[in-house]
Amino acid sequence: MKVLLINPEFPDTYWSFRHALPFEGKRSAFPPLGLLTVSAMLPRSWERRLVDLNVEQLKPSDIEWADMVFATAMLVQKDSLRQVIAQCKAQGKRVVVGGPYVTTTIEDLLQVDHIFQGEAETTLPEFVKDLERGEAKRIYKAAERPPLSLTPVPDFYLADLKRYSAMSVQYSRGCPFQCEFCDIIEIYGRIPRTKSNQQIVSELGALLKAGWRGPVFIVDDNFIGNKKNVKQMLPHLVAWSEQHRYPFSFMTEASVNLAEDEPLLDTMRSAGFRRVFLGIETPIEESLRETKKGQNLHRSLLDSVQRIHSHGMEIMAGFIVGFDNDPEDVFDRQIDFIRASKIPLAMVNLLSALPDTQLWRRLKSEGRLLSEASGNNSDCSLNFVPKMNPVRLVEGYKQIMRTIYSPAEYYSRALDCLKEVAQSGAGSRGTTLKGDIATLSRVVLKLGVRDPARLEFWRYIRRVLLEHPTKFARAVMLAAMGYHLRKLTEEYCG
């Protein structure tokens, strides 16, 4: 059996970092971890190939080679997924689709042969047996959420690692909280499941063996969802990193209550964590209560940010406008908070009702749903009727984005962040002097010579050299990422 694994293309969004990746000589941020994991679940006797449309084109010869095509997609990839399905069915191929989009979608994918809804650790082996008997079903839906002890080490070797900015591993699934807008708790549940300590060490060992050195994203939607287990795992991660001379630096996603646990922050720093994404959402307490995000109300959000920064971890944060309880001045208050927090990479979204979330169900019962969400956090679209005037809401959102990603504003926050984030200790030795020089050359050419905002760039670089010379490499990458965010803002927000 020959299996072609296809990852559909992501459109340009704030998360794609398409304008920043060329500075590193990369094509995509991360490889498709889900498909690499699915590949490892297939019989070893099967042949397999990966085509990631974010780094290469899908050729007719790729499809012709395959007996069967596996594809996955997030909601934002749905248009590309449909094109992939059409191409493969046109060549008469059996098409198998899974992933978050088909698990929660309200739309019908009539052309595919087999659909996997939910996690595949138990259903994929069932499919393989059914296929051998000639009795494969169209829909496979996991009866329960499987233990992650069933999850194999992903087939990292399938991906062309040099095309990616970072690698991905997964430690846990699920989150104990109940945020109304979140689809993670609907897909993966509210009881976080984790891999064993040996599993996560084995996956890192496989990445090391594959030749990777540099950033590794632990993709858990809430890395500290199961604090007991993560605290038992981290000393193993520290020991592994020390033993292998820190080949990786780590980044992850976590809830704001991370700031309440000083020993956990210390251990994460020792393990090599350098960035964490937080769902801050809003400084408006009434809106946090509305969306059931009580974990953000336990202490000052600004104090929480400062504490995490003090442990050497830069924060990337999500913000949302469009809650029913947002006041008319929410846009100015979001801008003020982002400035005060010293977070350069502030990802601000319009509220979106994702399929089958608590928010989706509430708005549907209130007759306020308009359509399925696009999944694109950059296109200024609304799929529900907000309490605020929708024109005012969209224009206020654009005001935030134009403000926080204007060159002077962004570089000012980047400098504040470099000052506040404590100097990291031991860390990844994955970068090379040659690679750093190449990246710097591309950044200087683009931002220091060709960019209309080049004077702001040079003011920024001058201050970095004077005030934060030991953080120069990080400062350059912040400039590159800010360029992407500015370019997307100009495209979508005018």
Give me the residues paired with residue 71 across strands: 6, 97
**Number of domains the chain is built from:** 2
In whole angstroms, how far apart are CA 223 and each of 248, 253, 258, 315?
A: 17, 6, 9, 14
CA angle 175, 176, 179 (to 5 degrees): 80
**pLDDT given at position 463:** 97
End-to-end CA, the chain: 50
Does 386 fall in a domain? yes
Q: Does the pLDDT at position 426 exceed 60?
A: no
The number of helices, as runs of H, and strands, as runs of E, in the chain is 19, 14
Does 431 fall in a domain? no
How far is residue 197's CA from residue 207's CA, in Å, rounded to a whole number? 16
How far is residue 395's CA from residue 374's CA, in Å, rounded to a whole number? 19
In whole angstroms, how far apart are CA 336 and each of 116, 202, 301, 349, 420?
A: 44, 44, 13, 16, 17
Does 7 fall in a domain? yes
Question: Per residue in 200-223, pLDDT tens?
Answer: 999 999 999 999 999 999 999 999
Together in a domain, 131 and 188: no
Question: Per residue in 230-255, pLDDT tens?
Answer: 999 999 999 999 999 999 999 999 99
**pLDDT given at position 106:** 60
Q: Does the pLDDT at position 44 exceed 70?
A: yes
In whole angstroms, how far apart are CA 225 and each of 121, 237, 359, 398, 459?
A: 21, 17, 21, 33, 41
Together in a domain, 63 and 203: no
Does 475 fall in a domain? no
Does 464 fall in a domain? no
**pLDDT given at position 248:** 97
Together in a domain, 104 and 251: no
How far is residue 197's CA from residue 148's CA, in Å, rounded to a whole number? 11
**pLDDT given at position 429:** 52
Does 304 fall in a domain? yes
Does 461 fall in a domain? no
58 phi, psi to nearest 5 deg: -85, 115
Residue at a domain's end among 357, 385, 420: 420
The whole domain housing 19 covers: 2-141
Together in a domain, 97 and 241: no
**What pTM value is reported for the model?**
0.95
Together in a domain, 387 and 264: yes
Together in a domain, 92 and 130: yes
Together in a domain, 124 and 204: no
Together in a domain, 255 and 288: yes
